Amino acid sequence: MTGEGGYGGASGKVDYVFKVVLIGDSAVGKSQLLARFARDEFSMDSKATIGVEFQTRTLVIDHKSVKAQIWDTAGQERYRAVTSAYYRGAVGAMLVYDITKRETFEHIPRWLEELRAHADKNIVIILVGNKTDLEDQRSVPTEDAREFAEKERLFFLETSALNATNVEKAFNTLLTEIFNTVNKKNLASEGDSNIPGSLAGKKIVIPGPAQEIPTKNSVCCKSS
């Protein structure tokens, strides 16, 4: 299990903690997007994620301190056993595909179906086409992805973890929308017991990793 990351964070009191999950096929760059956002790092020889890891980064949105707890799991089928715990408590999701591999985009509807089956119905989702630095190898037209995102009411951006293009913007778009959604729920439904647990109350606190993911056989770390 990988823990805290401090890059670009604010210090002191934290007003919100938002759990965000990264999903999509293996090797689309989920771990690299996370490393770029959490630590401003990129590794050319990054190994595949085994099991689950998470990083955190604290930032300020509308004068409030928001800690993003971002979870990354392998895209391979054999790790699907962790899905229910992985999605539990998530208020945001980044659905990632590789613009150079058409099949990773064609699998997005399946990932979206799984996400909607396991996650809270109010979860905020952004579709991300990664690896724009490989434009000459593109196999997924931007317009195809944009049309899909509009149909499914998802946010959409294309990114490059390698050169950092739109990585900050993608995460900030997701986290700002989560922040706005939480505040709208609080203002419109203050005292309403029907608010989902993940969105209820002024301070959103996500259980720690020991509560979220069984420690036996399912938690490991990423080789460096």
Nearest to 94 by CA among 40, 24, 159, 142: 24
User: Is residue 215 included in any domain, yes or no?
Assistant: no
pLDDT at res. 103: 96
Mean pLDDT of the chain: 78
What is the C-alpha to C-alpha distance for residues 17 and 64, in angstroms, rounded to an integer?
Answer: 11
Ranking 52-56, 110-114, 149-153, 205-209 by mean pLDDT, the lowest is 205-209
Q: What distances in angstroms separate CA 128 from CA 3, 24, 141, 205, 211, one per listed residue? A: 24, 10, 13, 26, 29
Give me the CATH number covering residue 195.
Answer: 3.40.50.300
Kindly report, residue by residue over 154-201, the tens digit of the pLDDT: 999 999 999 999 999 999 999 999 999 988 877 665 555 454 444 433
92-98 and 124-130 beta bridge pairing: parallel
User: Is residue 3 included in any domain, yes or no?
Assistant: no
User: Is residue 220 included in any domain, yes or no?
Assistant: no
Quote the number of domains for the chain: 1
User: Is residue 192 included in any domain, yes or no?
Assistant: yes
Torsion sign across C-alpha atoms 128, 148, 108, 209: positive
Place of tokens 């109350």: 201
Ranking 134-143, 154-163, 200-209 by mean pLDDT, the lowest is 200-209
pLDDT at res. 5: 41
User: Is residue 10 included in any domain, yes or no?
Assistant: no
Do 54 and 3 touch, CB atoms closer than 8 A?
A: yes
Print the domain residue range for 204: 16-208
User: Is residue 88 included in any domain, yes or no?
Assistant: yes
User: Is residue 109 included in any domain, yes or no?
Assistant: yes
